[in-house]
Amino acid sequence: MDVRRGETRSRLRSRGLHLPRQTAGHFYRGRTQVSLIDTNDNHVINTIRIRSSWQNEQSFDVPYKIARFFYRVDGPLNDNGEGRPKILWLKDYNGDGDALEFALFSADNCTIVETTLFGYSKSQDRVIQYPIHLVQHEGARTTERNSPWLDHLFLEKPISPGHWKWQYQYHVGGLTHFEVKYDRAKEMFDGEIIIDPERDLEHGKRYRE
């Protein structure tokens, strides 16, 4: 396994670090996997590979020292406010009542944070990466997308358990409306994206309905 150490280099801004630094910080880069282990006899039940974003890259940046932004970081902290993150911070992200999931975050620029979710499936007795199916409408054109990564999803506050609805203005195009729901039976997320070319709010701002 080829693993390298790295650091996301960026200048400090008056309101904090650039997003790539907030999601990666000081990191290990290489092929990354997550496994479910039976603690009774320590055998591996299953293993899945973590791939970076929708581009399906073979490596992922796992932070080992980072500031408190998207990952949980308990003390002690260094002079830059950085500490050891708790990557496997289990929460009830999908709203099914069980705190059995953890999210990963990735940012290649200063405005967009891609998110994905891993967790334990009781029905399958396996660790899974939750699929996300989206139907996108832009004018008369409709397209479908299947990817385990979606911009900002697991940073948004749900309007009810397992139901998210928010808006985002990208640098290019009109205002984008997102609505995503968790399907417990299928153990996946289904959603709809509507891009409104007639509305163009100030760049980089997010709005919830």
Distance CA 163, CA 181 (A): 5
Q: How far apart are CA 135 and CA 121, in angstroms?
A: 25
Give me the sign of the Cα torsion angle 150, 147, 27, 32.
positive
Q: What is the mean pLDDT of residues 69-84?
A: 86
Query: What pLDDT is stored for residue 22 in this prediction?
Result: 53
Say how many Å lie between the first and final Cα of the chain, rounded: 45
Per-residue confidence at 49, pLDDT binned at 50, 70, 90?
very high
pLDDT, residue 205, reads: 46
Residue 12 has a pLDDT of 36
Q: Give the integer Cα–Cα distance in Å for 104 and 96.
A: 19
The residues, any chain, with a CB within 8 Å of residue 187's CB and separated by 6 or more, are: 121, 123, 124, 128, 130
pTM: 0.82
Torsion (CA) 131, 135, 95, 44 in degrees, nearest 10: 0
Range of 24-33, 66-75, 96-105 with top mean pLDDT = 96-105
Rg for the chain, CA atoms, rounded = 18
Give me the mean pLDDT over the 64-81 stretch.
Answer: 86
pLDDT for the residue numbered 136: 96
Which range of 24-38, 42-56, 62-76, 151-165 scores highest in mean pLDDT? It is: 151-165
pLDDT at residue number 198: 61
Choose the weakest-confidence range: 68-72, 132-136, 178-182: 68-72
| Residue 159 and residue 165 in contact, taking contact as beta carbons nearer than 8 Å | yes
Report helix, strand or coil for 68.
coil
Q: Computed from CA positions of residues 104, 183, 159, 89, in that sequence, does the dihedral angle turn out positive or negative?
A: negative
